[in-house]
Chains A and B, each alone.
Chain A
């Protein structure tokens, strides 16, 4: 819809969490922790650059696969990511998910310091509207759960 030719379907999500960058990094990269906020799904990965990455359903089926493009703890994680369980989404090819962690000096809700997590998710090739739409429905839920888990020790709801 925009005039900008290079504009690809893309989402940007930002959440502020009362925690430390190290704890947030651990939550994003520890399979057991991921399971607590990602609706029972978990990642199989050592989170080193070049390593294969996959997201599995609770029953062991593969939801998504890809590889780690960048891992700079506790600041930046880039995952090349493709859906595996829905043919129409898989057909759209790889996407790129970038997670950035930084300290925010002030966030009104806390009246003090918080960690800012920014997630960009965009498709690598042309098109890709369906995949981005599908993940855009999931990210806010995953991020709310993650925030709740880190701040209170409980995910808002398990799945």
Chain B
């Protein structure tokens, strides 16, 4: 669980996860093409995300595809969020999203 928090405690790595959430299964090249980070930096960040199991890797021929793996985040949520709190938190989350969308 330490690895998950360490991996998430970095804005660049969170951005990589956002990119995969928008478009799952990208190669290193595809991720780099849309970012200002160097290829080495992206590669290093991906390795940390992989180590934390936040990114799952699938080889398709010679291509290494990266998938967002939300399971460890879900495990963390399960540890501290009780079942009965879930629907209320969902409602708060939806309200926040709706209010912030109006400000845009």
Contact = CB atoms under 8 A, between A and B. Distances in A.
A29 B72 CA distance: 23
B22 to A, nearest CB: 7
Interface residues of B, number: 24
A12 B2 contact: no
Interface stretch (A13-21, A49-57, A68-76, A88-96): A13-21
Interface string B21-33: 0111110001000
A13 B51 CA distance: 14
B48 to A, nearest CB: 12
Contacts of B71: 13-15, 139-140, 143-144
Contacts of B24: 9-12
Interface in A30-77: none
Interface residues of A, number: 25
B58 interface: yes
B69 A14 contact: yes
B75 interface: yes
Given A140-B70, A156-B78, A14 B22 contact: no
A146 to B, nearest CB: 10
Nearest to A107: B53
Nearest to A143: B71
Interface string A91-113: 00000000000000000110000
Contacts of B26: 2
A158 to B, nearest CB: 8
Contacts of A109: 1, 3
A3 B78 contact: no
A125 B73 CA distance: 30
A150 B24 CA distance: 29
Chain A to chain B: the 9 pairs with minimum beta-carbon distance, closest first: A140-B74, A12-B67, A157-B83, A1-B23, A156-B78, A14-B56, A12-B56, A15-B71, A144-B78
Interface of B: 1-3, 22-26, 30, 51, 53, 56, 58, 67, 69-75, 78, 82-83
